[in-house]
Structures are given as structure tokens and as C-alpha cells.
Amino acid sequence: MLLESTVAHLLKVSSNPLALSEPVCQSQDIAQVHAVNILRILVQDSSLVTAISQFYATLTMQALNGFMSPVWAMRNASLQLLGYICLHFLIHLYSCCHYCLQCFDTVGWESGRASGLYRIE
């Protein structure tokens, strides 16, 4: 699939060590940073949520590894990528909890069978 090969290639590019033989200018284009930013856009795209979710673990590890970079642009791109991954996790968690609360309603939430639980709205 095209998405799988694209993500694999972007992960490969973004994980290449930065050659820091000379100081990096903050306005300098860095392939690794571009790759992480493209990965962020893929995670951010609502039409790809289901397809990209299989890569969340790998993308999370890549984002966390990016925090160790000596280049600010890489740390910043990694933070933004991690932010969108966390946002998708929270949205998924909320939708699951909302679904579970609806299930409790159908099995007797109001009748007291789930009296030890509190409803979150």
C-alpha cells in the first residue's frame, strides 16, 4: 500500500542521524525535520485516521527519539508530531468511554446496578 511505503520511507529519513560537522542554521532545510513534519500532517489528516493508526506506536517512538536531537527544529517537529498522536489517542479514548457509558445506560445505569460508577459528561 502507498501509505505504508510512504510512512516507512519517512521514518527511515527522519531517523537518519543529523550530520553536525558544522553549526546548523535555524533557517537551514533539514531532510529529517521535513520528514517528521510530513508524518505530522499524515497523522493530522482526518481522512487517514484509520489507516495511519497502525503506525502510532512507531510514530510515538520516533517523536520521543526526536527530543534527543541537538537541533531545535527537530525537537519542535517531534513535539508537534507527538501532540497530534496524543490528541488522536484522547479522541479515541473519549469515544470509547462515551460508547461504554451508553452501554451502561442500556443495562441499567439508572436502576442502580452500576451504582459504584460515576457518569462523565
Q: How many domains does the chain have?
A: 1
Work out the pLDDT band at 112, boundaries 50, 70, 90.
very low
- Assess if residue 36 is contained within a domain: yes
User: Average model confidence (pLDDT) for the chain?
Assistant: 80
How far is Cα of residue 119 from the mean position of the Cα atoms in its chain?
Answer: 28
CA dist 120 and 99 (Å) reads 12
- Assess if residue 115 is contained within a domain: no
- Assess if residue 114 is contained within a domain: no
Q: Determine contact, residues 39/10, Cβ cutoff 8 Å.
A: yes
- Assess if residue 44 is contained within a domain: yes
- Assess if residue 119 is contained within a domain: no
Cα angle: 74, vertex 44, 83; to 5 degrees = 50
- Assess if residue 66 is contained within a domain: yes
Q: Determine contact, residues 13/58, Cβ cutoff 8 Å.
A: no
- Assess if residue 121 is contained within a domain: no
pLDDT for position 89: 83
C-alpha cell at 2: 502507498
pLDDT for position 113: 45
Residue 41 pLDDT exceeds 90: yes
CA dist 48 and 83 (Å) reads 17
C-alpha cell at 28: 537551514
Domain that holds residue 65: 2-14+29-107
- Pick from 41, 85, 94: which is nearest to 62 by CA? 85
Tens of pLDDT, residue by residue over 46-80, are 888 889 989 999 999 999 999 999 888 999 999 99
- Assess if residue 90 is contained within a domain: yes
Question: pTM of the prediction?
Answer: 0.73
